[in-house]
Structure 1
């Protein structure tokens, strides 16, 4: 097994044609806090997270994932991972060096097998965060990011081979085969997942709430505000986490969740979960049915940034 040098998920960076509406949504409705700005950029933190920011927005002509960022324990681990990737033929976008975004640190970027930009960094300064209080319906942290892949088997193999991610569970369909793979880089059931799709894109980004009450309050607050709900509220079987999915102004799916399962990695064995079983999608039976409408929204628009590193 590949040595795991990744410790956790840091942030997801999105390029959007309308920065103003996106910034307004994430700060005014979703519950993130803008902590820094630059020309055409907005850095958004979760109040309960020590990460400098969990979402970065960038004004751009094309909608895309700019990058997905992960943490490493030390600069030495960053160097080791960069050297191993380069030796194995992975295309580096930048060599290890100083990170120039809020919090600084030491990191590098590379393209994954389908051309997404991935960043790995260490020694990023911790943000002065706070405890999210009882009843506060705002995100505590970025829980996980799920991507759509035209070649999901190849994408899963890339993250397992090169980054040491481990498989937690698979969603499967009796006719269409395996549909989603949940991958972990620590003892959370998943920090990253890969879904089968006609094209690479963002499937969804998920934000953890303080607890069930705060999760439901947040869900209700967005519904009252008229934000389009795609799916939920309910509780998945794989990961055992709650879910409500909404669309942001640019058509990206974002999720409120809580109680994602933590695993004993020494004893855990991946399971195959049949998504035609209603209890797999939603143990509670409270969510709307997973149908073609929900699936189509989760496909998102094709990512326009493959093998094109973001300018920042």
Structure 2
């Protein structure tokens, strides 16, 4: 195990918070089509849980004039680790949004927020109450959990270095292209192949948020339900080589890419060695060969709109 992994204090991905101009339409999509459950609402806020997840919520939606990532949230084991991380980051010159404090969001807890190197707001928390959740049954095509978040970066190497240095994230694999160089870095904070990935893009933005389903059958049923509902599919269904997970990418009502996936690899962190995959090889993008070809249209959709929330903390 490498030195960063020994000192890693981040345990897992908790939730992604998005601001959107039309809260009602976005909430309707995530609940009635995508399969999340609205657990709590507040003035201009909606907290959405995955039925199979112990997290209080996996998506928070906030109504705002500008579409943006409000924040990405990660868990820590305890309050002491939260304090240690906050102190480390402050001493390294990372700009904190606020010091560790008791949280007022559902489930409470203790956490702090900061800006990453490109200005995204990130939260680290511990002692959040566990949500009463359940085992997802055979045939239920609803998300079990938030699998991973992928962000676009105009300086992906610097962004990867930031999360490795300050959080102890480890590189699992890299996607490259013969003409364009390294294009995506898969980072893990536990045995899951990746909880965060960083893609090379023209600007900082959300590339996609991915939701784990129970298994192949449930993943295909969910994909079919979204198609029947008229949701725009941009890529899939297929199976990636890096991470070995399935993929079906759709656009939400505000043009964010969301993914259904399943069977993401669990790696042995003591023995894992990162691979460099050339995605000009069609089997790297899709082992099955069932997805539409990765092309400029798919890539452009995944670039998303430039994030208007950089170095501006969300109001809540």
Report Cα offsets for 1:20-43 as digits up to 9, x if no partner: 100000001000000000000000
What is the match of residue 150 of structure 2? 146
Q: CA RMSD in A?
A: 0.4
TM-score by length of 2: 0.98
SS at structure 2 position matched to 1:110:
strand
Q: Does 1:190 align with 2:184?
A: no
TM-score by length of 1: 1.00
Q: Does 1:305 align with 2:304?
A: no
What is the match of residue 228 of structure 1? 232
SS at structure 2 position matched to 1:188:
coil
What is the match of residue 90 of structure 1? 94
SS at structure 1 position matched to 2:39:
strand
Report Cα offsets for 1:163-195 as digits up to 9, x if no partner: 000000000000110000000000000000000
Runs of at least 5 residues in structure 2 that lack an aligned partner in the other structure: none
What is the match of residue 130 of structure 1? 134
SS at structure 2 position matched to 1:289:
coil
What is the match of residue 208 of structure 1? 212
Query: Which of 161, 167, 181 is the aligned partner of 2:165?
Result: 161
Query: Which of 93, 114, 120 is the aligned partner of 2:118?
Result: 114
Following superposition, which runs of at least 4 residues in structure 1 exceed 2 angstroms of deviation? Answer: none
CA distance in 2, matches of 1:198, 1:235: 26
1:61 shift after superposition = 0.6
What is the match of residue 267 of structure 2? 263
Report Cα offsets for 1:254-281 as digits up to 9, x if no partner: 0000000000000000000001000000
CA distance in 2, matches of 1:283, 1:269: 21
1:36-55 equivalences under 5 Å are: 36-55=40-59
Report Cα offsets for 1:100-159 as digits up to 9, x if no partner: 100000000000000000000000000000111100000000000000001100000000
Runs of at least 5 residues in structure 1 that lack an aligned partner in the other structure: none
1:288-299 equivalences under 5 Å are: 288-299=292-303
Query: Which of 56, 62, 65 is the aligned partner of 2:60?
Result: 56
What is the match of residue 101 of structure 1? 105
SS at structure 2 position matched to 1:214:
helix
CA distance in 1, matches of 2:9, 2:96: 17
CA distance in 1, matches of 2:31, 2:237: 22
CA distance in 1, matches of 2:225, 2:70: 29
1:4 shift after superposition = 0.5
What is the match of residue 37 of structure 2? 33
CA distance in 2, matches of 1:299, 1:17: 19
1:288 shift after superposition = 0.2
What is the match of residue 177 of structure 2? 173
CA distance in 2, matches of 1:177, 1:99: 41
